Amino acid sequence: MRRKADLPQKSCAYCQRPFTWRKKWARCWDDVRYCSERCRRSAKLFDRARGASA
């Protein structure tokens, strides 16, 4: 059994907080960029708003 401290970590692309590997991300860990659905949605809205102002 692995301890949580031994699992890989990344920083969220939106909030910059560290988050730990989850079993549901086993197949797509390299593609995971955000720690939560909320951060993913916020980043999408931020990108959309930034594109409209440019």
Distances (CA, A) of 1 to 7, 13, 42: 11, 29, 35
Spatial CB neighbours of 21, under 8 Å, sequence gap ≥ 6 = 7, 8, 9, 29
Give yes or no for residue 21 having a pLDDT over 80.
yes
Residue-number span of the structural domain to which 14 is assigned = 4-53
Residue-wise pLDDT tens digits, 9-20: 999 999 999 999
Average pLDDT over residues 27-45: 94
| Helix, strand or coil, per DSSP, at residue 22 | coil
Q: What's this model's pTM, rounded to 2 decimal places?
A: 0.75
Q: How many domains does the chain have?
A: 1
